[in-house]
Amino acid sequence: GAGVSQSPSNKVTEKGKDVELRCDPISGHTALYWYRQSLGQGLEFLIYFQGNSAPDKSGLPSDRFSAERTGGSVSTLTIQRTQQEDSAVYLCASSLAVQYEQFFGPGTRLTVL
Amino acid sequence: GQQLNQSPQSMFIQEGEDVSMNCTSSSIFNTWLWYKQDPGEGPVLLIALYKAGELTSNGRLTAQFGITRKDSFLNISASIPSDVGIYFCAGPPIIQGAQKLVFGQGTRLTINP
């Protein structure tokens, strides 16, 4: 079946603008995760959704970052008043509940000028 | 928080050589995952380990879950050009209900033809 998809694949924005990144998880996967990967680095956890439970927001770096998941499927990560240090690849992953085998999308490369 | 340290950070080998990389932590993990990331793509799960001492193979790849639960090893035999990429170890921190993954910084594998 289809894998995790993300859009856009690339986003260039100006400092101070807001951006929205979208993730479509694998159908039937109840858990959805957002990670950030800076150039040449490993992945940094941002936020996690599991079913109807309150999301785990412990990885969000500031209150400029927020995410929502509508209808238990599609998720949107919003970054307000973007800064140059927000430039990174933002990766989304999904998994079946209670499993750790997360499947990743191709990522959105965000560049803040 | 729990961190994973990977070594080496990069490897330059000849095609056909065997590869060995490892991942260590100062605290125990109950699950170890190995991912491979190609340029412009999200990480792809290679091997999952769930039990201390477990040795699991996936084709030319073999991974082991260290008996101390603080380390894991990934070996690639008879490397081929498509093995080029960045290899990440990952695992869920020992926190009740935690579903997020902690990632190592990655080992970049380059193969000289």
To the nearest whole angstrom, how far is the Cα of A106 from the nearest Cα of chain B?
4
Q: Which of A102, A108, A109 to mutate to test the interface with B (most CBs of B within 10 A)?
A: A102
Instruction: Give the Cα separation of B105 and B87 in Å (integer).
Output: 9
Judge whether residue A65 has pLDDT over 80.
yes
What percentage of chain A reaches a pLDDT higher than 70? 96
Q: Over the stretch B52-102, which tens digit does the pLDDT of each residue have? A: 999 999 999 999 999 999 999 999 999 999 999 999 999 887 765 566 788
Q: Comparing A43-47, B26-30, B46-50, B102-106, which segment has the lowest mean pLDDT?
A: B26-30
To the nearest whole Å, the CA of B78 is away from the closest chain A CA by 26
For A71, residues 6+ apart whose C-beta sits below 8 A from its C-beta are: none
Instruction: Specify whether the CB–CB gap between B76 and B61 falls below 8 A.
Output: yes
Residues A52-63 have pLDDT tens digits of 888 888 899 999
Work out whether strand B19-25 and strand B10-14 pair parallel, antiparallel, or are unpaired.
Answer: unpaired
